[in-house]
Amino acid sequence: MRQIIFDTETTGLDPAQGHRIVEIGCVEMVNRMSTGKNLHIYLNPDRDSDPEALAVHGLTTEFLSDKPRFADVADEFVTFIQGAELIAHNAAFDVKFFNAELAKTGRGPITEYCETITDSLLHARSLFPGKRNSLDALCDRFGISNAHRTLHGALLDSQLLAEVWLAMTRGQDALLIDVDDNDGAGSDGIVLAKFDASGLVVVKASDDELAEHETYLAALDKSVGGECVWRKLDAPVAAA
């Protein structure tokens, strides 16, 4: 089983608005073991990064100016991912950028080159509903050190995600008892009741937390000179 854990850094949020990939990081695992074979590429996007994106990854236009363009490395990238399961955190974001870049080179979407694409964020949300499931939060939850992560970096984030993915998918721990599907009894004869999720407590944001959130959104509005993307995401959808 060959898996590629991957991440990107970009100039902004949406390739439909002309944003491009500036960094690709891929980590190869075979049979759930790191092979030490990675793919790490900085790219010249032929444009500046949005200030918000630059604050996240720190890759300046000057630094990227002598780096290859995606078209120059497209063959290397598709060869590296060929036939593998791709795993990314919030995979839809990275996939839309790769599809845009591949289309510019006359190639089909990324799904033509890989076996399947798995979103580790969706998997984390299924395991830990109602909890924070960012990469940093998952590192904290599984005791994975990310102290060296001051800025986002595609390769570093892929390496951290590889550790998180192994921790999330290593199977049931000894705290749980195997259950026979036929009679609901474990190997020691103990019958387990079905889990009832109806009593789970939903913790909502307090008024103070909502006020802090509004203050932060207002600051984002000011920095982008208009309405930030989070307000658009929060806007109610008109009935069809």
Task: Indicate the domain borders of the chain.
Answer: 2-168, 204-235
Q: How far apart are CA 166 and CA 171, in angstroms?
A: 9
pTM of the model as a whole: 0.69
Mean pLDDT of the region 160-185:
65
CB-based contact 141:128 (threshold 8 Å): yes
pLDDT in tens, 130-155: 999 999 999 999 999 877 665 578 89
Q: How far apart are CA 185 and CA 182, in angstroms?
A: 8
pLDDT for 75: 97
> Quick one: CATH architecture of 2-168?
2-Layer Sandwich (3.30)
What sign does the CA torsion over 100, 105, 108, 109 have? negative
Mean pLDDT of the region 84-97:
96
More confident residue, 68 or 223: 68
pLDDT for 238: 56
CB-based contact 2:84 (threshold 8 Å): yes
Q: How far apart are CA 114 and CA 109, in angstroms?
A: 10
pLDDT in tens, 181-218: 444 444 444 455 555 666 667 788 888 888 888 888 88
The residues carrying an active-site annotation are: 152
Q: How far apart are CA 203 and CA 233, in angstroms?
A: 21
Residue 202: count of CB within 10 angstroms of its CB? 6
**C-alpha angle 198-202-205 in degrees, rounded to nearest 5:** 170
The mean pLDDT value of the chain amounts to: 85
More confident residue, 31 or 238: 31
Amino acid present at 22: V
Radius of gyration of the chain (CA): 21
Mean pLDDT of the region 98-112:
97
C-alpha closest to that of 50 among 82, 18, 72, 80: 18
